[in-house]
Chains A and B, each alone.
Chain A
Amino acid sequence: NAGVTQTPKFRVLKTGQSMTLLCAQDMNHEYMYWYRQDPGMGLRLIHYSVGEGTTAKGEVPDGYNVSRLKKQNFLLGLESAAPSQTSVYFCASTTTPSMNTEAFFGQGTRLTVV
């Protein structure tokens, strides 16, 4: 029962470096989401996907890109990391949100940009 798995769990980047966060789910969920969590601001939606091959912008998409080439994977990319992107990143997945189903979350990735 893996559920939602995020890789890596921790990462330190230098300003300007790039990296990709991987989210993998084994529940055959259609919808996947990337959030960032900052103190006092809750979880803010970065990007989301409603199915394989589709992505859409959330509340705070600037500086991030995403891809959903396979249904089970949702990648979050930082092309040129900035200190403002220091945060804890969460991935989540759900079946169709119009149904009364909960979102399942990964364990989070703590990213520090120095």
Chain B
Amino acid sequence: AQTVTQSQPEMSVQEAETVTLSCTYDTSESDYYLFWYKQPPSRQMILVIRQEAYKQQNATENRFSVNFQKAAKSFSLKISDSQLGDAAMYFCAFSPDMRFGAGTRLTVKP
């Protein structure tokens, strides 16, 4: 079975600074997708960014970007110019299994 590991239970960043959240996964599949979801206190799950494994180019969505290292099975999320509204739980997810990591709680300090 595929596994998704987030080794940072908590992270903190100063407002306007940059933070990187880590995610590693284990799979024997060659074709798959990776996602980062955000869960604010409202509990709603919000898609932040997605990456297709066959694409070498790292995905970018405004202030959010990923560093996808397929050989190392690593999929980190970089948040630039952090804002107070970025404070949330962040989950890395692997598809097609739809497996999730344990999450990283991000705190943004004003």
Contact = CB atoms under 8 A, between A and B. Distances in A.
Interface of A: 31, 33, 35, 40-45, 48, 59, 88, 90, 92, 94, 97-98, 100, 102-103, 105, 107-108
Interface of chain B, main secondary structure: loop
Contacts, number: 52
Contacts of B99: 45, 59
Interface string B19-45: 000000000000101010000000111
A88 B43 contact: yes
B101 A42 contact: yes
Nearest to A110: B43
Contact of B44 (A40, A48, A98, A107): A107
Contacts of B33: 97, 100
B91 A42 contact: yes
Given A45-B98, A105-B44, 5 more contacts: A42-B102, A43-B91, A100-B33, A100-B52, A108-B43
A35 B1 CA distance: 16
Contacts of B9: 40
A94 B96 CA distance: 10
B101 to A, nearest CB: 5
A97 B102 contact: no
